């Protein structure tokens, strides 16, 4: 576990050195004064963008600036290094999360049935990764029981606690993407990570239901060709929409700041969802047709490919956080929940600063 922690801490140190100073004051008292000077120099079009209360009120040029700054911030914040560290912890947390999922699933159904359903869900992944996950699922389901008891509860809590370690490190990385300092106590930080982990497990259960269980249940209804196609398209659309909502929740509650309104976290979640689908499909195609990981790494090919896919996923999630932060900096209006407050009093770096 020291490798991933070193990568994440190293990213923060390098970012501070590159910028030539310590982390910026998250709530600068001079922000209103700076903003008044900036407003005096803005054109009417820029002033209109600065008054945007919703992301939909930003124009095309505004979004170009947001994306350009977000891409620059991925370099300044050492997102590639952060993503590597988070991917390492995600790898350690993945199988405890699968254990928790099988445990929860076993309360309402036969745990052994989840094996084939997970295999159906993992078909979009590279073959090496799908095989690795399938083998682990066979091991988990062979030792799982569906009865609710003290042993099951303890096992579930232990699996959730182990899996929450990966989520906690993702929270720290998102903090860096938002330029925030972590000030939450250990109990609150772990508690938030546990809740987000439980939400992630529920997400996977719902995903399995949409991809594997729903079609089998609807086949008995005799929907015909049109109905079958509609169900096939609808389940994947529903899965994509559910993933976008899940990322929006992550971006809202993971960073240590006053919560942004959902419309300001939905931007990055939408971008990250689209990029993840395209990136995962492209990565799977590359590994299946061009990559020679089996010849290079032998029996470790599945582990290497899984780590690379997790790295890609973490990089995209952190880029979505950068997009959210820069979108908030595109307006002077309060983007946090609750009554509107002036610049410098919103307890969120992205909401308290405005891009030049």
Q: What is the pLDDT of residues 140-150, one digit of tens each?
A: 666 655 544 56
Q: Looking at residue 17, what is its pLDDT?
A: 46
pLDDT at 265 over 90: yes
> Is there a domain that residue 306 lies in?
yes
Contact 249, 324 (CB under 8 A): no
> Is there a domain that residue 15 lies in?
no
Q: 303 vs 176, which has greater pLDDT?
A: 176
Q: 134 vs 109, which has greater pLDDT?
A: 134
Contact 330, 52 (CB under 8 A): yes
β-partners of residue 260 are: 336
pLDDT at 136 over 80: no
| Nearest 10 degrees: Cα torsion 245, 80, 312, 277 | 50
Q: Looking at residue 26, what is its pLDDT?
A: 45
CA within 13 Å, CB half, 1: 9
Q: pLDDT-based confidence at 301, cuts 50/70/90?
A: confident
> Is there a domain that residue 193 lies in?
yes
Span 41-92, pLDDT tens digits: 444 444 455 778 899 999 999 999 999 999 999 999 999 999 999 999 988 8
Task: Give the DSSP letter string of 30-54.
Answer: THHHHHHHHHHT--HHHHHHHT-SS
Q: Max CA-CA distance within the chain? A: 68
Token pair listed for 111: 């745990």
> Is there a domain that residue 165 lies in?
yes
Give the three-class secondary structure for 260: strand
> Is there a domain that residue 44 lies in?
no
> Is there a domain that residue 334 lies in?
yes
Token pair listed for 249: 């929740």
> Is there a domain that residue 21 lies in?
no
Three-point CA angle 65, 71, 75, nearest 5°: 140
Determine the Cα–Cα distance for residues 40 and 356; give it in Å rounded to an integer: 12
What is the pLDDT of the chain when averaged over all its residues?
78
- Neighbour count for residue 180 (Cβ, 10 Å): 21
When divided into structural domains, the chain yields a total of 1
Its domain, for residue 255, covers 67-352
> pTM score > 0.85 for this model?
no
Q: Looking at residue 207, what is its pLDDT?
A: 72
Span 312-325, pLDDT tens digits: 999 999 999 999 99
> Is there a domain that residue 322 lies in?
yes
Mean pLDDT of 320-339: 94
Span 12-52, pLDDT tens digits: 545 554 444 444 444 444 444 344 434 444 444 444 557 78
């Amino acid at each position: 576990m020291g490798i991933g922690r070193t990568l994440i801490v190293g990213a923060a140190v390098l970012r501070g050195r590159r910028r030539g100073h310590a982390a910026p004051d998250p709530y600068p008292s001079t922000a209103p004064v700076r903003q008044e000077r900036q407003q005096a120099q803005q054109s009417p079009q820029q002033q209109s963008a600065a008054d945007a209360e919703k992301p939909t009120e930003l124009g095309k040029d505004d979004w170009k600036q947001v994306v350009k700054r977000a891409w620059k911030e991925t370099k300044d914040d050492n997102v590639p290094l952060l993503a590597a560290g988070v991917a390492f912890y995600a790898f350690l947390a993945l199988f405890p999360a699968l254990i928790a999922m099988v445990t929860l699933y076993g309360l309402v159904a036969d745990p052994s049935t989840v094996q084939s359903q997970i295999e159906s869900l993992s078909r979009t992944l590279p073959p090496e990764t799908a095989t690795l996950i399938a083998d682990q699922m066979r091991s988990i389901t062979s030792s799982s029981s569906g009865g609710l008891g003290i042993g099951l509860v303890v096992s579930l809590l232990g699996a959730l606690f182990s899996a929450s370690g990966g989520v906690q490190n993702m929270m720290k990385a998102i903090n860096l993407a938002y330029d925030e300092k972590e000030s939450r106590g250990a109990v609150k930080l772990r508690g938030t990570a546990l809740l987000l982990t439980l939400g992630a497990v529920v997400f996977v259960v719902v995903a399995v239901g949409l991809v594997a269980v729903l079609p089998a249940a609807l086949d008995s209804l005799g929907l015909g060709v049109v109905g079958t196609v509609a169900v096939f398209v609808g389940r994947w659309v529903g899965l994509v929409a559910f993933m976008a909502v899940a990322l929006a929740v992550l971006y809202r509650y993971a960073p240590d700041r006053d919560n942004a309104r959902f419309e300001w976290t939905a931007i990055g979640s939408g971008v990250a969802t689209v990029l993840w689908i395209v990136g995962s499909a492209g990565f799977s195609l590359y590994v299946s047709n061009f990559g020679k990981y089996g010849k290079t790494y032998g029996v470790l090919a599945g582990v290497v490919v899984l780590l690379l896919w997790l790295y890609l996923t973490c990089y995209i999630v952190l880029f979505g956080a950068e997009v959210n932060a820069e979108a908030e900096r595109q307006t002077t209006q309060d983007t946090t929940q609750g009554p509107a407050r002036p610049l410098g009093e919103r307890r969120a770096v992205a909401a308290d600063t405005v891009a030049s």
